[in-house]
Structure 1
């Protein structure tokens, strides 16, 4: 049911883009109708709160928040409410890679080992280098092993005795004092000497051959940017992405945003999850608001149209160039237009209809960010979901 409701929200958001731009009077009527429909969905009780936006290259067509950012405090969910956007974060890793390439710090076809202090090698293909392009297109042969779910998500300080310690299956929250840094986590899961290494952390397939969505691969790409730029990845993205776009509600850590604006996430309608972070934060830990992500989505649309400001036109062409073929997929999603698993650019997904963007899901969170390259209309949905599996 919740999956159907999410699809309904996206369809409603699409309605304003196709019906509401031509005439101002008609647009206002569609805006009112959309708001009423979304409020009706909220009243069904499947979500505590969510935000919706519709944009084009010229600006925002619709923005609104619904429900509560904090149920107990009766705090409204607004367009400046901050929450994780989960794997939509990976799109920032793509922009960061291309910005670093513009600066001459790397090229996408370089082997990752050119930049790492520890070797990353598929044991089944030790002589085949894993490249940055492989990471960016999820063809690196790196898989998320069992320790990704059991050792990656950590409670923020002071949360050890609050909230559930597990979310679903193997996905657990470890205490704050057990958290490790991004490079330590990567070395532990990717190298044979690492204490969390598993042979099944690599496919027995040649790097570059098979699409397999990899959170660890995305985090590794961000770490390369950190290495070549000689600055923390959050500092790099702030300098070249969020600050130029005036994304004032955004950051990778709670300390980077106004904590008073941060939404609570929920295990159930009345049970909040603890505040948590990730060792591999670049793959899903970006914190932002509907207002800021609207600015970001608008930049992506403008970049596709050759008018972006964050990257050069040639970099945007690379970002949005479908880079895989049917032979790269064992299972290709040809049903869901809001799925990034039909084709991929540089950490930028394509649905089978041609929609461009990304989805995200983490404990208590679902996010979708897509635009239609034909109409130039983009749609954004961020919500507090009680169970991650409700959208899987």
Structure 2
């Protein structure tokens, strides 16, 4: 009995030593990457078999104030936000409040038709999969641009191909989706996401700036190539108080940017990612049904890797097909990708970098994923 306890204790000590060694190696390699790519700050989180096994932050949260980045700090994560909007739609579809085949015009409250193909219905699924033939040429910060009753150039919001017959990534699609969520639920978009996605998962974050602790905001920095320096982007956390005070439910929704305005930490984003990895369930709580979770991750076609706010790639980690999303805005770059079969995933976020791209991914993002995979997952 005593011998068994000794062996058990030795095994635990050995495992702890090996883990510590791997974490030390990982941190040294990531720190070297931060320096090599001229990165301001970097936050990472790794999930394996449903648990966060590693989370760490490097560099600065605020350069001017000399504040280091920490794991609890939150970022405006840009386009990964789209998956929160799609998750909400999946909840409503499961509750039979709408269907993905619905005519989007009827859902959003104004005519959404490509003038070159006026008889072709643009469905909710087309909007979510970026196959709607809609583009961002007229902007996407208000719905007037595409509303025929208000936008002078609304026809320019459509591409030349028939809806459903082509793919073009489009932010306006998801800002309209946010308006639909309000129309269907009667709940303001930011509140719906908080009450039906974030709170059930025990996550801190949201779309409404003034509902969050400003001390947690990570300053985002855009690189100015001509001046060879990083410049802060305060508009990333603009409160837009006046616009919110004059808010029109089901129409003013782009103020919160359903397409890119979620603010959350890398660690909490990793928990949210784990919910998708386990097809809608995390920590005993089901957020969306398995059917709709899988649908989000299913490519529209072999040609297009996008599903419903979740894309598929084999370019991030060699030999691995991953599901997830990237984001970039105001100098930030973010990535959330996971393997639903092998049950591992990673979140990597930087608040400013100048390291270039490889295979369509920012270098600090791609390199960090590979370091984390090789050291902590593989």
Q: Is TM-score (shorter-chain normalized) higher than 0.5?
A: yes
Q: What residue in structure 2 maps to residue 261 of structure 1?
A: 216
Alignment partner for residue 346 of structure 2, among 369, 375, 379?
Answer: 379
- Runs of 4 or more consecutive aligned structure 1 residues displaced over 6 Å after TM superposition: 304-308, 387-390
Give deviations 1:29-88, integer Å, cap 9, x for gaps: 211100111122223461111101111242111100111111111111111111111101
Assess, with a 3 A threshold, how the Cα gap between structure 1 residues 378 and 46 changes in structure 2: closer, same or farther.
Answer: same
Q: CA deviation at 1:316?
A: 1.6
Aligned-partner Cα distance in 2 for 1:196–1:48: 42
Structure 2 spans left out of the alignment, 5+ residues: 1-13, 224-228, 239-253, 315-319, 363-378
- Please show how residues 270-281 of structure 1 align to structure 2 within 5 Å: 270-276=230-236, 277=238, 279=255, 281=257
1:318 matches 2:318: no
Q: What residue in structure 2 maps to residue 173 of structure 1?
A: none
Give deviations 1:327-364, integer Å, cap 9, x for gaps: xxxxxxxxxxxxxxx42222111114521000011111
Alignment partner for residue 94 of structure 2, among 89, 94, 102?
Answer: 102
How many residue pairs get aligned? The number is: 319
Aligned-partner Cα distance in 2 for 1:356–1:388: 24
Q: What residue in structure 2 maps to residue 206 of structure 1?
A: 162
Is the 8 Å Cα contact of residues 362 and 388 (structure 1) preserved in structure 2? no
Alignment partner for residue 135 of structure 1, among 102, 108, 127?
Answer: 127
Alignment partner for residue 180 of structure 2, among 209, 213, 224?
Answer: 224
More deviation, 255-264/307-316: 307-316
Q: What residue in structure 1 maps to residue 245 of structure 2?
A: none
Alignment partner for residue 350 of structure 1, among 304, 308, 312?
Answer: 312
Aligned-partner Cα distance in 2 for 1:102–1:304: 12
Assess, with a 3 A threshold, how the Cα gap between structure 1 residues 389 and 210 changes in structure 2: closer, same or farther.
Answer: farther
Q: What residue in structure 2 maps to residue 284 of structure 1?
A: 260
Assess, with a 3 A threshold, how the Cα gap between structure 1 residues 377 and 196 changes in structure 2: closer, same or farther.
Answer: farther
Q: CA deviation at 1:273?
A: 2.0
Structure 1 spans left out of the alignment, 5+ residues: 1-21, 153-184, 327-341
Aligned partner of residue 279 in structure 1, secondary structure = helix
Q: CA deviation at 1:386?
A: 4.9
Alignment partner for residue 207 of structure 2, among 232, 247, 252?
Answer: 252
Q: What residue in structure 2 maps to residue 361 of structure 1?
A: 328
Q: What residue in structure 2 maps to residue 215 of structure 1?
A: 171
Give deviations 1:152-180, integer Å, cap 9, x for gaps: 3xxxxxxxxxxxxxxxxxxxxxxxxxxxx
Q: What residue in structure 1 maps to residue 226 of structure 2?
A: none
More deviation, 301-310/137-146: 301-310
More deviation, 273-282/237-246: 273-282
1:242 matches 2:198: yes
Is the 8 Å Cα contact of residues 336 and 348 (structure 2) preserved in structure 1? yes
Is the 8 Å Cα contact of residues 313 and 322 (structure 2) preserved in structure 1? yes
Assess, with a 3 A threshold, how the Cα gap between structure 1 residues 280 and 112 changes in structure 2: closer, same or farther.
Answer: farther
Is the 8 Å Cα contact of residues 190 and 256 (structure 2) preserved in structure 1? no
Aligned-partner Cα distance in 2 for 1:86–1:114: 28
Aligned-partner Cα distance in 1 for 2:355–2:198: 27
1:76 matches 2:68: yes
Q: CA deviation at 1:292?
A: 1.0
Q: CA deviation at 1:108?
A: 0.6
Alignment partner for residue 64 of structure 1, among 41, 56, 59?
Answer: 56
Name the larger-Rg structure.
2
Q: What residue in structure 2 maps to residue 26 of structure 1?
A: 18
Is the 8 Å Cα contact of residues 265 and 272 (structure 1) preserved in structure 2? yes
Aligned-partner Cα distance in 2 for 1:98–1:239: 15
Aligned-partner Cα distance in 2 for 1:344–1:273: 29
